[in-house]
Structure 1
Amino acid sequence: MRLLLTTQPIYSHLVPALVPLAHVARAAGHEVAVATAASMADELARHGVAHLPLPNVPGQVELRSDPRLAERFGLPQQLMAPGRRSVDPAVWRQIARAYAGPIAGHFAADLLDVAGRWRPDVIVREPAEYGGYLTAERLDIPHATLDISPFAALDLPVVVDALDEQRVALGLPSTADPWHPHRHLRAGLIPEAFYPPSLRPVGGRYYRPPTPTDDAPMDPWYADLPADRPLVLASLGSLVLSLPGIPDVLPLVVAALGELPCTAVVSLGGYAELTERIGTVPENVRLTPFVPQRTLLPACDLFLTHAGFNSTGEAVAAGVPMVAVPAVADQPPNARRIAELGLGLRLDIDDLSVARIADACRQVLTEPAYRWRVRALQRQLLANPGFERLVADLAELAVLARPVEPARRVSPLR
């Protein structure tokens, strides 16, 4: 099988799930490549994954730094309303339509040329990338969604018209079916119970991502953290901390954790300069520019998180309860689901205080039911088939879609 993976040129969309899928598929003897913007070349090379660059697809830095380019693709110039840290839902709907409309069409234009030469049997995309879906439909080959964002499905009714416009531009019929992009296979990476019933399509299957094996060992100072109190990890993510107003949350988080009988590690998301904005750091809190999150989480008692899906999934895999402080994209619905399932508590990022953060963390740390419920979901995840099964399911899609050759006529023996 020739397996082509497509993704927006964003680290968190590529590395946590698509790269492991590429490695598992290649180990099973399949040929695999990732098609995305040229800006991801170094990252893919670092992971040893073949890259099919799309020369006219802009990187995220270009889209965020060039107002004219953003306007060309229908992206808003401003995410946050004045005085708020969360994104207005109307602004997010505009972003979703841009990714399913002009950005998807631009992506598909390059991808059709690349795929025409590379000749994939199956295309697998992540849910923010629609060009792979359009290309597979145009080439009449199966496609699947590696569901790194379960609540991205909430955007499907919002974007169906924009996506149908791109279908018509490629000579495809419109569908008016919001679920059409998932019609072959939607591969969930968290147990089905995390999905609300309305977001569980017929074509959904659920898998267990592989345990990372290439993470570097933690710095020795992590091993020397005190053993007489719970360990709390706090991380708001690198992308979120780059947004206006979000770094102002860090001083509140640090002060709140300083009031608790715990040891806390607070990640600065790669922005070491944010230390200057925090001021006095309590004795029980350790700041670090970057934290090996997947490695450290299994040793933690609480995770204060922005509730991005990668972080949420990693917490479930580690069996760690959460306090969620969502800001953008799928983070608010992820946080709501965390609270609905009793995996932790959700806080409003526009109404934070030191007291609210400390009270939420104290409640989750002291009430064992939060951990019990996360551990139950963790067991469901452990019972799901691994990526080897996903690769086999993709190979089966390829076989089922392959045209049957007519039997050769054999002359009768004389």
Structure 2
Amino acid sequence: MSRFLFTMLPANDLGLPTRLVPIARELADRGHDVAVFNPAPAPAALIADAGLANLPMPPRAIPDPPFDLKKASQAWDVEEMYASLFSDEEFVRANTALHVDLIRDFKPDVVVDSFGVFACLAARVCGVPLATVNQGNFHPASGGFLFWKGERPSGLPSAAPYFDRVAAEYGIGPFARSVDLLAGDLSLIVGTPETDPVSSAARVTHIGPIVWQRGDAELPPSIASIQKDIVWVYSGNPRYAPVPTAIDSIVVIRAAIAALADAPVEVVLTTGYQEIPNEIGALPANFHHAAYLPGRAMAERSRLMVHHGGHSSVMQSLAAGTPAILIPTITERESNARRLVALGAGEIALPIDGPDGEKQIDIAEFTSKVHRVLNQPSYRESASRVALNMRSYGGARLAADKIEELLTMN
């Protein structure tokens, strides 16, 4: 039996745990000692749903984060995003030390990470093999979030100097870019070459879609018994803070209410273990809210998905062959949305920043796209084609196989 520690950027969203939990569960079912680390409330609920151990936060003081969420929402790629989040040496130093503590205490044979740059650095500090599980546009060999604009502009900010100074204190580094830390000894890409392309020279393995659903999970009778077409609206985290931020997804809820309140469909709204903000008020009569529902079952039952463009949500819709309309609130999500649209499996409705900093959307345009995707068979046909191709990939089982193989190489 081997020990595996699963880490990730500890954001209060379900995207990263959704891709890691199925792999962790597969390795645990094979008899390995598996633990996960994400103390944020929504991920913690998902980890508990899978019956996995979630390690507590190590007792170490962490400085206030230097996050600039507006810049993060507009980042060209991971490198610029990290610069907007981690441009403080003391913050990088403390978070790296926290993850070093975590690894030294648990003593894993392999660290398996998704987008958690501090854990990736700490694994190198501790000399523990690192497997990374990321979407294509997170990998150093990708074209970045704004891939359709051509080459990355020169002179964009980088977090590498902060990581290099901390790494040097442990006797490792330097790193040309902070994003280079995300390329592990084993690099697994969620999705396929057509959904998540990276350079052909990169040493990666595409593993197809990975989405979490407990084996015995079923839709509740109130949802399973619906006779009309279902539109599944997934907002993710509507509000990341007590005040509006540039990455909030409340715009998805507002757009759905404006466009679908009087439509001849039933709308199922889920928020990923998050509460609906009070400002939304009472939902329309044809709306049903649940904090969380089994994703695969919901995607298969739905005629259309509407969501914020998160990669795991894209995988959910494509794996089910269900078309989607995406309202991406940051450039990373716009990247995912443009890939899906290029496959013919849905449409994108780009929000803009309103005068108060809140995201706004053209409701007429969004409503038109809802009707188009619901009524034109080509969208579902394209999504079904992608789903069929995805079935040839191994998913969580292949990922677990590759991670076990990593043990034999070290």
TM-score, normalization: structure 1?
A: 0.78
Instruction: Name whichever of 347-356 and 109-118 sits farther off.
Output: 109-118
Aligned residues: 377
Distance 1:26 1:384 in 2: 21
Aligned-pair CA distance for 1:342: 1.6
Distance 1:369 1:352 in 2: 25
Q: Check whether the contact 1:125–1:145 (CA below 8 A) recurs between aligned residues.
A: yes
Q: Which amino acid aligns with 1:292?
A: L
Distance 1:141 1:293 in 2: 34
Distance 2:131 2:103 in 1: 16
Distance 1:192 1:19 in 2: 22
Which string of whole-angstrom CA distances, capped at 9 and with x for unpartnered residues, describes residues 331-363 of structure 1?
Answer: 121112122222211111125233111111111
1:52 counterpart residue number? 55
Q: Which amino acid aligns with 1:223?
A: A
1:233 counterpart residue number? 232
Distance 1:119 1:3 in 2: 9
1:376 counterpart residue number? 385
Matched, 1:392 2:407: no
Q: Check whether the contact 1:192–1:206 (CA below 8 A) recurs between aligned residues.
A: no
Larger helix percent: 1
1:267 to 1:145, Cα distance in 2 relative to 1, 3 A: same
| Structure 2 runs not aligned, ≥5 long | 146-151, 353-359
Aligned-pair CA distance for 1:387: 2.2
The DSSP-based 3-state class of the residue aligned with 2:409 is helix
1:113 counterpart residue number? 101
Aligned-pair CA distance for 1:29: 2.3
Q: Check whether the contact 2:328–2:334 (CA below 8 A) recurs between aligned residues.
A: yes
Q: Which amino acid aligns with 1:170?
A: Y
1:335 to 1:27, Cα distance in 2 relative to 1, 3 A: same
Q: Check whether the contact 2:78–2:138 (CA below 8 A) recurs between aligned residues.
A: no
Q: Check whether the contact 1:321–1:343 (CA below 8 A) recurs between aligned residues.
A: yes
Compare CA radii of gyration and give the structure with the larger one. Answer: 1
Q: Which amino acid aligns with 1:238?
A: N
Which string of whole-angstrom CA distances, capped at 9 and with x for unpartnered residues, describes residues 31-58 of structure 1?
Answer: 2222455877776455432343342468
The DSSP-based 3-state class of the residue aligned with 1:194 is coil
Q: Check whether the contact 1:122–1:143 (CA below 8 A) recurs between aligned residues.
A: yes
Aligned-pair CA distance for 1:143: 0.7
1:162 to 1:209, Cα distance in 2 relative to 1, 3 A: same
Aligned-pair CA distance for 1:240: 5.2
Aligned-pair CA distance for 1:226: 2.9
1:340 counterpart residue number? 342
1:279 to 1:53, Cα distance in 2 relative to 1, 3 A: closer
- Match for 1:324 among 323, 326, 333? 326
1:209 counterpart residue number? 210
Q: Check whether the contact 1:235–1:304 (CA below 8 A) recurs between aligned residues.
A: yes
Instruction: Name whichever of 98-107 and 17-26 sits farther off.
Output: 98-107
The DSSP-based 3-state class of the residue aligned with 2:391 is helix
Distance 2:338 2:408 in 1: 40
Matches within 5 A, 1:49-198: 49-56=52-59, 69-70=63-64, 73-76=65-68, 79-80=69-70, 87-89=73-75, 96-97=82-83, 98-99=85-86, 102=89, 103-127=91-115, 129-147=116-134, 149-153=135-139, 154=144, 158-176=158-176, 178-198=179-199
Q: Output the aligned Cα RMSD.
A: 3.5
Which string of whole-angstrom CA distances, capped at 9 and with x for unpartnered residues, describes residues 209-242 of structure 1?
Answer: 3662356433322233234xx3222222225576
Which string of whole-angstrom CA distances, capped at 9 and with x for unpartnered residues, describes residues 227-265 of structure 1?
Answer: 4xx322222222557645753553442231245443333
Distance 2:31 2:40 in 1: 26
1:93 to 1:279, Cα distance in 2 relative to 1, 3 A: farther
TM-score, normalization: structure 2?
A: 0.79
Q: Using the aligned pairs only, state the percent identity.
A: 21
The DSSP-based 3-state class of the residue aligned with 1:378 is helix
Q: Check whether the contact 1:54–1:111 (CA below 8 A) recurs between aligned residues.
A: no
1:297 counterpart residue number? 299
Q: Check whether the contact 2:270–2:293 (CA below 8 A) recurs between aligned residues.
A: no
Distance 1:199 1:163 in 2: 28
Q: Check whether the contact 2:232–2:268 (CA below 8 A) recurs between aligned residues.
A: yes
1:99 to 1:310, Cα distance in 2 relative to 1, 3 A: farther
